[in-house]
Amino acid sequence: MSFPLPDRHNDTQAASEVTSDSKLGRIDFFGAISLGLANCSLLLFLDQAQKGLSIHNWRALILAGIWMVFMISFIVIEAAWAREPILPLELLRRRDVFSSYAIQFLQTSAQMAVFTSLVLY
């Protein structure tokens, strides 16, 4: 199964007719903004969670909810609305792509755990 790539203009006349407006139209601004806001809210949530998760830490609970809202909006934007998504969700259905992303996530998590714990010893 091959992944469909966008058509490239080989014709010099067609390439010269491409304007900056059409180039900007290809950028997934809403997907980038929702992913950026999701990342920021996740980092703020983890900062608050470091202070202790409890029912009294309402900031962490609110930030967790905000993170969920932005992640769901990112997935909806990428799946249904974006013409050229930042992260095509069809890629995650492929086992080799998903496993490499999962390994990278776990390896980065392990590195961050070592970086934060090593200083204590």
User: Are residues 119 and 62 part of one domain?
Assistant: no
Residue 31 pLDDT greater than 70, yes or no: yes
With respect to residue 10, please indicate whether it lies within any of the assigned structural domains. Answer: no
With respect to residue 4, please indicate whether it lies within any of the assigned structural domains. Answer: no
Provide the residue range defining the domain that includes 36.
Answer: 15-87
User: Are residues 78 and 36 part of one domain?
Assistant: yes
> How many independent structural domains does the chain possess?
2
Q: Which tokens go with 7?
A: 């058509």
pLDDT digits (tens, 9 = 90+) for 34-54: 999 999 999 999 888 887 777
- In angstroms, what CA-CA distances link 112 with 35, 38, 78, 105, 109? 21, 20, 28, 11, 5
pLDDT digits (tens, 9 = 90+) for 95-118: 999 999 999 999 999 998 898 888
User: Are residues 65 and 120 part of one domain?
Assistant: no
